[in-house]
Amino acid sequence: MRTGSEPATARSALRARLWLSVWGLVWAVFGTAVFALVGRPGWAAACGVLLLIVTVDLAMIVRHLHQGPHYQPGRDVPPYQPPDDDGPRYPRLSRRGPSWPRPPRHRHP
């Protein structure tokens, strides 16, 4: 069910982001070390900047994971605020399509 507030209440797959950040951290460390040993200071600096960005992102992800269900909900936490009204906002869909009345068809003689 859509409530219209999805961008404000959107949640991220933090565990997937955690493992992708760890993967990026490993490659940034590897790239920094290899380019420094080969004698390419520009590339080593670029990998060092990437290492800094990945480390900050990893720290934010770990912080959000430690904050609990507000950022990483369990199966029992709904991903949105339930609507206040009791009636459906949108027409119910069936196999034949929406359930609102269709306009009259004009038949030509």
Number of domains the chain contains: 1
Whole-number percent of the chain with pLDDT over 70: 51
Residue 41 belongs to what domain range?
A: 18-67
Residue 39 lies in a domain: yes
Is residue 38 domain-resident? yes
Contact partners, residue 25, CB within 8 Å, separation at least 6: 51, 54, 55, 58
Query: Residue 14: which pLDDT band, with cuts at 50, 70 and 90?
Result: confident
Q: Token pair 């369990």 is at which residue?
A: 74
Question: What's the pTM value of the predicted model, to 2 decimals?
Answer: 0.55
Q: Mind listing the pLDDT tens digit for each residue in 43-71?
A: 999 999 999 999 999 999 999 888 776 65
For residue 53, being part of any structural domain is answered with yes
